[in-house]
Amino acid sequence: MVPDLLKLRGFFDRLAGKSARPFNRLGMRSTDFDLSALLARPPRKIDQKAARQLIAGKRVLITGAGGTIGSELVRQVAEFEPAKLALVDNSEYALYQIDLAMHEAGHGDVLFSSLTDVCREEHLDRVFEICQPEIVLHAAAFKHVPIVEHNRCAGALTNFLGAKHVFDAAIRQKAETVVFISTDKAVNPTSFMGATKRIAELYAQALDVAQNDTRFVTVRFGNVLGSTGSVAPLFIRQIERGGPVTVTHPEISRYFMTTREAVQLVLQAASLDSAENTIVTHDGRVFVLDMGEPVKILDLAKRMIEAYGLVPGKDIEIKFAGLRPGEKLFEEIFLDTDKLVKTGADGVLLASPAMIDLPLLNPRLQEVIENAKLGDQDALDEAVHHLVPEFSPTPGEAIDQSNKSIQ
């Protein structure tokens, strides 16, 4: 029997279009998996010239550098020959992995790795002072919806306060461009995670309009196929244990992209102004990545079972577990009131979400921060609702560990 790790790697190699590593389960070999069929659209051919122009010879800092999106940002940015590449993460193992990979790929001479929590402002400021980044890519976040739903104070501190520290440090160091990685869950959010990301969007927009030194760009996209905490690795584990595979609802659907494609489009969106050789605009831009048609999670589960040479419902049972706290049946990448504008870059659209001026925004933001630090979940919910009225928390829905004693 081939070790589970090799089977996992083999499956994701097939997803990425690489040659499959053979593995056995019940004496069968998995068939090749057609990623383009899963996405219901052909893979995009993304011109990376503008991204190279944005990054080449620049000092670049990436937060959440050890995560799924962060590590792919690191790999792609490194290929564009930055003058310096600073990796920031609060996970020692995740930072070790991406640092090792970059040294093995021959990028060690430009690398600076920092085990830093974005919630620790003094520590983060020190990193910015050392690196003096010109380009900042902020990917650090708590993203798992049910976990953040039950740990709201921690979620608010990382997803908003951490983002605020990064944005403020970038302005103090007069960085040229800050790219904020957001999510479709920030649109009309039903989850606390989505609401915190929307608040960070509001702050990035307000900062972009309020000053002219640092350009802030927000990029929204949906689920990344195979990312940590997503359904694909969960389904793999369930299939290899013999099932059942658990789907929350027969009609639930999500937008999906490959990690590589999402990061290419993020960098393309960030470089649009430089590509067009225009005067940099400060209008609180929020870019939306066109992720094609949403994919039913039930269909995804069936395809993954079939990729193992097994029959859904016969060899592997599929069970419906019910929606989890904060989950929607489907995600939106923009509100009906947003006007999406084509950018000239395939796969990148420009949205126009509502903004709040910085003087009006700051007092509300401070309420969010103070209540999150105090661990006062009820007051935090109210403060978040004031900033994001479409988010209506259900009383008693979450159990924040900072408010719960262990008996």
Tell which wins on pLDDT, 12 or 84: 84
In the annotation, is 339 catalytic? no
| Residue whose pair of structure tokens reads 């921060």 in the numeric block | 369
The backbone torsions φ and ψ at residue 45, rounded to the nearest 5 degrees and listed phi first, read: -95, 105
CA angle 347, 352, 353 (to 5 degrees): 115
Contact residues for 276 (Cβ-Cβ < 8 A; gap 6+): 344
CATH number at residue 279: 3.40.50.720
Residue 182 maps to a domain: yes
Question: How far is the CA of 185 from the CAs of 192, 230, 361, in angstroms?
Answer: 9, 14, 21
**pLDDT at 26 exceeding the cut of 90:** no
And the tokens for 181? 């990685």
Domain count, the chain: 1
Strand partners, 288: 220, 349
- Rounded-to-integer distance, Cα 98 and Cα 363, Å: 38
Q: Which amino acid is at 289?
A: L
Residue 363 maps to a domain: no
Share of the chain above pLDDT 70, in %: 78
Residue 187 maps to a domain: yes
Question: How far is the CA of 146 from the CAs of 142, 223, 254, in angstroms?
Answer: 11, 15, 16
Mean pLDDT (the chain, rounded): 82
Radius of gyration of the chain (CA): 21
63's enclosing H/E stretch is strand 59-63
Q: For 47-69, what is the mean pLDDT?
A: 94
Helices (H), strands (E): how many in the chain?
A: 16, 15
| pLDDT tens figures, 269-324 | 888 865 444 556 678 889 887 766 777 888 888 888 888 888 988 899 998 888 77
- In terms of average pLDDT, the best of 204-208, 235-239, 339-343 is 204-208
Residue 197 maps to a domain: yes
Contact 348, 360 (CB under 8 A): no
CA atoms within 13 A on the CB side of 371: 21
Q: What does 10-61 look like in DSSP terms, one character per residue?
A: HHHHHHTTPPPPP--BTTB-PPP--HHHHHTSPPP----HHHHHHHTT-EEE
pLDDT number for residue 21: 38
Is the pTM for the entire model greater than 0.75?
Answer: yes
Tell which wins on pLDDT, 28 or 301: 301
- In terms of average pLDDT, the best of 14-18, 123-127, 221-225 is 123-127
The backbone torsions φ and ψ at residue 379, rounded to the nearest 5 degrees and listed phi first, read: -65, -35
**Domain around 276:** 49-224+260-290+336-351
| pLDDT tens figures, 126-185 | 999 999 999 999 999 999 999 999 999 999 999 999 999 999 999 999 999 999 999 988
- Alpha helix segments (H runs only) across 211-337: 231-240, 259-270, 272-276, 297-307
Residue 325 maps to a domain: no
Residue 29 maps to a domain: no
Tell which wins on pLDDT, 111 or 14: 111
Contact 379, 400 (CB under 8 A): no
| pLDDT tens figures, 212-225 | 899 999 999 877 77
**pLDDT at 399 exceeding the cut of 60:** no
Question: Catalytic one among 7, 185, 302, 328?
Answer: 185
Residue 210 maps to a domain: yes
Q: What does 272-308 look like in DSSP terms, one character per residue?
A: HHHHHT-PPP-S--EEEE---S-EEHHHHHHHHHHHT
Residue 150 maps to a domain: yes
**373 CB-contact burial (10 Å; exposed 0-12 / middle 13-18 / buried 19+):** middle
